[in-house]
Amino acid sequence: MALYNQRMNCQLVSAAKTLKHNQLRDDKGAFFGSILGTLNHLIIGDMIWLLRFAKHSNRYQALIQLSELPYPNSLGDILYDQLEPLVKVRKQLDLAILEWLNNEVHEADFHTTLTYRNTKGEVSEREFSELLSHMFNHQTHHRGQISTLFNQLGVDIGTTDYLVDIPDNKSIG
């Protein structure tokens, strides 16, 4: 899922680079208004979850470094009003996710409970693997909205299916 996440974010960034700034900022009626607003929300969602996950283990150094990035006050904040700094942070987050999952998370971690406070301050206790699945599903949900906005502008973002990232066993053997 981390590789799929990275591929899809790269495709969205490539598509975004074909548009004028006002096309990225125009409110299109999505949950977070514009393409730029939704791209910011994806970063915000990732930041919130990844920094929660960082508290799960002192091994998670790839996530701890993310605390140096600007932190949102709300889910609809525009942390990055320009595409270039947004792209830089998006790449940083995607690389941190890959580093973290490939080198720092242990199999047993997925079956532990993570206690955290949601954005309203309410305490929750949930299985870590389910929360990680939620993070990736959240990204897919909002990338779907962005792909629709691009489609409305006549921009093809390419193949979005996760299936292309799953190795075909017949070609392996």
Burial of 3 (0-12, 13-18, 19+ CB in 10 A): middle
Residue partners of 172: CB distance under 8 A and separation at least 6: none
Residue 172 has a pLDDT of: 64
Q: Is residue 59 part of a domain?
A: yes
Q: Is residue 171 part of a domain?
A: no
Q: Is residue 106 part of a domain?
A: yes
DSSP for 53-86 reads HHTT-TT-HHHHGGGGS---SSTT--S-SSHHHH
Average pLDDT over residues 148-165: 95
pTM: 0.94
| Cα distances (Å, whole numbers) of residue 131 to 101, 114, 124 | 14, 8, 11
What is the C-alpha separation between 15 and 70, in angstroms, rounded?
A: 25
Q: Find the range with the poorest average confidence among 17-26, 61-70, 164-173.
A: 164-173
Residue 173 has a pLDDT of: 57
Q: Is residue 165 part of a domain?
A: no
Q: Which two tokens stand for residue 41?
A: 């929300």
Q: Is residue 161 part of a domain?
A: no
Number of structural domains, the chain? 1
Q: Which two tokens stand for residue 9?
A: 């974010």
Residue 54 has a pLDDT of: 96
Q: What is the pLDDT of residues 75-109, one digit of tens each?
A: 999 999 999 999 999 999 999 999 999 999 999 99
Q: Which CATH number belongs to the domain containing residue 17 in this structure? A: 1.20.120.450
Q: Is residue 151 part of a domain?
A: no
Residue 170 has a pLDDT of: 84
